[in-house]
Amino acid sequence: MQEMILILDFGSQYTQLIARRVRELNVYCEIHPWNKAPEFNSSIKGVILSGSPFSVLDSKSPQPDLNSFRGKTPLLGVCFGAQYMANTSGGEVLPSEIREYGRAHLSSIKEDCELTHGMTEGTQVWMSHGDTISSIPESFDIICSTEDVAVAGYKIKGEKSFGIQFHPEVYHTTEGKILLENFIVSICQVSQTWTPGSFVDSTVKELKEKIGNDKVILGLSGGVDSSVAAFLLQKAIGDNLHCIFVDNGLLRKDEFEDVLDSYQHLGLNVKGVNAKEEFYSALAGISDPEKKRKAIGKVFIDVFDRESHKVENATWLAQGTIYPDVIESVSATGGPSQTIKSHHNVGGLPDYMKLKIVEPLRLLFKDEVRRVGKSLGLPHELLGRHPFPGPGLGIRILGDITEEKVLLLQQADAIYIDALKKYNLYDEVWQAGAILLPVQSVGVMGDERTYEKAVALRAVSSTDGMTADWSRLPYDFLAKVSNDIINKVKGINRVVLDISSKPPATIEWE
């Protein structure tokens, strides 16, 4: 069985960051809601308890039973996790007189403690708590403090159990990697063998055993996730993988032809399907973003189902679902998760499709997908493609969709994306695109008054799309792009720049 670190999630905004930091150490880990923890087994080499929006003093806060783990495998409680272990062991947690949010500095670090070994006195850490561990049981030893909090970290005597009040997973904790490496490698003694290459080898083996000689259908989107999933499956089952690439009329300019050609040159068994008119017909007159997503999703399933029936005896449907999709579909607090917008990979299939699901990337974060793709030998042009929404330009055209609007946006978007590549800015941006706004504005061209449409340019920096900041593109570059769009795209006379971060905005406008 794969050695792993188990992360119990109590609803913290930082839980995914913990997993990412563990993975960066080439160690496999899984996140599970605290109330759906797996049974302890020999593959679990350590457990990390996350933070939480709850207070341990709240009667409605998570109340996990740690007896199945404590004393059997190393434990690391972070923030809420640390307070919970202290509170349930006979210590006391009270509302802080001085709350710690943001930067703090560690003092009285115990160098001989295996968790804090190698950390520097005064090192910066990141705090985010309104309660404080005011007293600890006799079986606890304090291993570090801050100016305002005496118990910033502790070790439980006779156990490999630790608690820390700060968050080692965030970048603002400058020596967080040292602490996590101490815990995972030195204390848990996990071998650092979980690499892109090892993932490919183990996944291909599992896919061969799981699928055998069955036929698999995969809907390609042209994006990184579905492409890497396709090549993993191809490596496992060869031409028993049947890929379908649907042109929904909402792709970027010339994207259908260009991407289909690149897939075929890379040896994929892929069929292109032109279904533009079906999508345009279904979208006619619809302006509501969720209704547009639902309409696009329904037509895609109809088209995909029709094409899949042409593949005789197909029994599997492959999807490019990745780990954030899986995590976000499960509530860590036991209640219903808030729906921000529908996700094109989540929600299952209609009963009539009767296909089993295979998701070879469901354990990977976005950056890991790219590293796996590189290990498979996929070209940078494919792996470096910006994320593109499942509904395509349908949610970058605000208001109703017409073919005329799509053609207008495709031209503006192509000028923008081509310029990013020409000026060597494309790889510095995580995601970029143009948005067609549902407004017209007055302009002047050649001494004549115009009344035409406006587009907004969006470019963000991010690592996984969970949070994002707007990219600071050079003014000269923006001026050139704006000028080219207005001069070359008839029907657009104004260009604006979106400088919103996520949160509070989302990356896409709909």
Among candidate residues 29, 79, 113, 243, the one labeled active-site is 79
Residue 406 phi/psi, 5-degree rounding, is: -60, -45
Angle at 79 between CA 78 and CA 83, to 5 degrees: 105
- Of 367, 347, 372, the C-alpha closest to 357 is 347
Burial per residue of 144-181, b for 16 or more beta-carbon CB atoms within 10 angstroms, e otherwise: bbbeebbbbbbbbeeebbbbbbbbbbeeebebbebbbb
Q: CB-based contacts of 435: which residues, under 8 Å, 6+ apart?
A: 396, 397, 398, 409, 455, 456, 457, 458, 498, 509
11: left (phi over 0), alpha (psi -120 to 50) or beta: left
User: Which tokens belong to 290?
Assistant: 């969720």
CA atoms within 13 A on the CB side of 177: 8
Among candidate residues 100, 169, 278, 508, the one labeled active-site is 169
- Of 264, 225, 220, 218, the C-alpha closest to 241 is 218
Helix, strand, coil share (%) of the chain residues, nearest 5: 35, 25, 40
344 is catalytic: no
Burial per residue of 437-472, b for 16 or more beta-carbon CB atoms within 10 angstroms, e otherwise: beeeeeeeeeeeebebbbbbbbbbebebbbebebbe
Could you count the other beta carbons within 10 Å of the beta carbon of residue 258?
A: 14
Bridge partners (DSSP) listed for residue 29: 5
79 is catalytic: yes
- Using the Cα atoms of residue 397, residue 402, residue 408 and residue 413 in order, give the sign of their dihedral: positive
404 is catalytic: no
47 contacts 4 by C-beta, under 8 angstroms: no
DSSP secondary structure, 277-315, as one string: HHHHHHHTT---HHHHHHHHHHHHHHHHHHHHTTSTTEE
Among candidate residues 3, 29, 100, 167, the one labeled active-site is 167
Alpha carbon distance 436, 387 (integer Å): 18
- Name the residues annotated as catalytic: 79, 167, 169
